[in-house]
């Protein structure tokens, strides 16, 4: 009996370590996703460039995107890609798109939001890209001598047929617009400003802009450990009711109600979940905000990601319930138990509506003893089957890893498109890439 027990225990140990070894081997042999790199010819004087959302796919399959500028006197640049010909077209700089022109003010540096198409037009908002980061946190920067302060972010439309831009409204108090969505059915545009976090509503029919004030204490201009609150990066619209939802760092979910033109806090439920971790909303980071979130028309619910933990959850706005689903971190993170490099989490999330599959770009820890960073991984989650899959590490044509992507769109050609940092002619640049999932 004793020998039998020893054999069973030994077999159990062997099985345990064998399974662990298999998991590590599978992680080490994870599929590599080879990316095609495009050249947008972003102005070299603007430096590396950035990307936070700022992408969209038109109904004809054309990919639209913006590469952001970090400097005060060069605006962000908007481009399009024809996936069939692979031809890139420079459409406009953001100063031109907003009508800011050549006035000597801090430039329209970013589009921090996804494009939304409605009735042949793309809608989006603009944001500033010029900051004071001396404290390690993005703050408004004093403009250089001879330059006026940033004049404010715009709600913008772009006519896909005529190529004409229209500035529809401008954010008050010289703030940028860092979050945006649109209810095309009802002709309403929504935004959250930076750094204060005011919620804005713009009505296309009446052409009226309404400012509901801030829901984020002193927002990202506040004092760390006291009045600082990170601003939610995604507004999600429920097309059934016309409500728009966003979150705050303490886990509250806020709802704009179309029928009453008012904002209320969802009282029945919140995102302050132990599974996500323990966060101080006044500390630097997204805390209990959702980092990325999408509306799923298949089951009429919101699917969101807690950025710091990578947990996916489902929020049903009718039943006022939240279900935590799956951790969408990479296999490399799960195998080592290590966090990856971005404290905020990732914005690159999209829903394949027809197949009911969520795609998410996430990071990975650097392999122990390796001189090469791990590239970002593409994660898929099948909502119907609840199946998680790490599709693999994204690697560029020069065998360098793609990393820290903060945008994702699904092309009509079956490819995934994002923007990443690349090395070209001895310098780092931000540019467009695509790969098969």
358 domain residue, yes or no: no
Listed in sequence order, the DSSP H helices in 230-307 are none
Write out pLDDT tens, residues 389-416: 999 999 999 999 998 899 999 999 999 9
37 domain residue, yes or no: no
Question: What is the number of structural domains in the chain?
Answer: 1
**DSSP 8-state code for residue 400:** P
pLDDT score at 371: 65
Which of helix, strand or coil describes residue 274? Answer: helix
Tell me phi and psi for residue 374, to 5 degrees: -75, 140
Task: Write a three-state SS string for 392-426.
Answer: EEEECCCCCECCCCCCCEECCCCCEEEEEEEEECC
Closest CA to 54 of 117, 140, 125: 125
396 domain residue, yes or no: no
pLDDT score at 237: 98
Write out pLDDT tens, residues 239-284: 999 999 999 999 999 999 999 999 999 999 999 999 999 999 999 9
111 domain residue, yes or no: yes
Ranges of residues in the chain with a pLDDT under 50 are 1-28
158 domain residue, yes or no: yes
pLDDT score at 30: 63
Number of CB atoms found within 10 A of residue 3's CB: 7
Which CATH number fits the domain that encloses residue 138? 2.130.10
Q: 321 lies in which domain range?
A: 56-344
285 domain residue, yes or no: yes
12 domain residue, yes or no: no
416 domain residue, yes or no: no
């Amino acid at each position: 009996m004793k020998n039998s027990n020893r054999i069973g225990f030994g077999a159990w140990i062997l099985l345990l370590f064998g399974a662990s070894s298999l998991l590590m081997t599978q992680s080490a042999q994870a599929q590599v996703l080879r990316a095609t790199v495009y050249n947008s010819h972003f102005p070299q004087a603007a430096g590396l460039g950035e990307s936070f959302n700022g992408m969209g796919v038109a109904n004809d399959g054309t990919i639209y995107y913006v590469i952001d500028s970090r400097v005060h006197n060069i605006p962000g640049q908007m481009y399009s890609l024809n996936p069939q010909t692979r031809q890139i077209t420079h459409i406009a700089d953001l100063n031109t798109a907003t009508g800011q022109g050549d006035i000597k003010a801090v430039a329209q540096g970013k589009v921090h939001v996804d494009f939304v198409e409605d009735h042949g037009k793309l809608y989006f908002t603009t944001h500033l890209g010029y900051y004071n980061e001396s404290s390690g946190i993005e703050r408004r920067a004093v403009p250089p001598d001879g330059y006026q302060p940033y004049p404010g972010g715009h709600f913008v439309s772009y006519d896909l047929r005529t190529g004409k831009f229209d500035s529809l409204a401008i954010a008050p108090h010289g703030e940028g617009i860092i979050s945006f969505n649109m209810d095309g059915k009802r002709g309403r545009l929504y935004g959250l400003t930076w750094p204060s976090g005011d919620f804005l509503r713009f009505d296309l029919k009446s052409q009226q802009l309404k400012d509901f004030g801030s829901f984020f204490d002193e927002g990202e201009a506040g004092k760390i450990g006291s009045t600082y609150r990170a601003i939610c990066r995604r507004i999600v619209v429920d097309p059934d009711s016309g409500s728009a939802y966003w979150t705050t760092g303490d886990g509250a979910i806020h709802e704009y109600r179309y029928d009453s033109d008012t904002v209320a806090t969802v009282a029945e439920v919140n995102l302050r979940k132990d599974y996500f971790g323990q966060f101080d909303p006044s500390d630097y980071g997204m805390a209990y905000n959702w980092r990325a979130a999408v509306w799923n028309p298949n089951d009429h619910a919101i699917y969101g990601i807690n950025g710091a933990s990578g947990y996916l959850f489902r929020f049903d706005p009718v039943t006022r319930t939240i279900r935590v689903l799956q951790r969408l971190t990479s296999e490399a993170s799960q195998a080592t138990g290590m966090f990856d490099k971005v404290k905020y989490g990732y914005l690159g999330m999209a829903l394949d509506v027809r197949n009911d599959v969520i795609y998410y770009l996430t990071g990975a820890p650097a392999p122990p003893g390796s001189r090469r960073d791990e590239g970002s991984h593409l994660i898929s989650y099948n909502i119907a089957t609840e199946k998680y899959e790490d599709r693999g590490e994204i690697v560029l044509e020069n065998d360098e890893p793609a990393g820290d992507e903060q945008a994702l769109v699904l092309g009509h050609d079956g490819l995934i498109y994002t923007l990443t940092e690349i090395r070209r002619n001895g310098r780092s640049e931000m540019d467009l890439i695509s790969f098969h999932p």
